[in-house]
Amino acid sequence: MLLFVGLGNPGPKHAGNRHNIGFMAVQAIARRHELSPWRRRFQGVAVEGTIAGERVLLLLPGTYMNESGRAVAEAMHFYKLELGNVVVFHDEVDLRTAKVRVKVGGGVAGHNGLRSITAHVGNDYKRVRIGIDKPDIKELVPTHVLGDFAKNDWAWVEALCDVIADNAALLVEGRDSTFQNKVHLAMEAKGFGEDEELPGSE
């Protein structure tokens, strides 16, 4: 069994925040694979189903970002999961807008959700890093991540979440490099490629 965790803050006030793109990606996976209904579990909401022949639990912690590890730890302990079975989807200011990278372990780079998960369960889980870019002035980063996506951002946000959902089976199968490449090529095909000047890009 795998655990897919989307990071974000609960409630309508935060629903459109850049910090919530992890929530958005995991919700898109649930829609794409027709997993429902979401139920209150593990200090958040969760839904269980099958992707690529594997049981997968999708979890959106309801603890607020900086306590995400509590929800993840509870789900892991309930299902007796190893860290290698955990995949965390989160916003990444150190990646350009709409870029996606997958890695296992590494630093938390100031991300409070990752910091909380690492503190509760350890560091060697898989991260799907979803680029939201960052402002030129470091002090503006908190405002940036907690701000809503602009109207002209939503085309690439929705496209990217759909592409992640379309290719989620590759993550289940452990084909991380193929997943990255497929996402990249699909976004290029939709007009959001390397040469496309996206909102929020430098």
Residue 179 structure tokens: 């997943």
Distance between CA 111 and CA 9 in Å, rounded?
13
Nearest to 3 by CA among 56, 39, 40: 56
* DSSP letter, residue 191: T
Q: Which residues are designated catalytic? A: 19
- Residue 165, both tokens: 């959902």
Q: At 58, give phi and psi (nearest 5°).
A: -100, 130
CA distance 108 to 37: 32
Token pair, residue 80, equals 């007796």
Q: Which two tokens stand for residue 156?
A: 């690439």
Strands laid side by side in the 54-61 sheet:
39-41, 44-51, 54-61, 2-6, 86-92, 126-131, 100-104
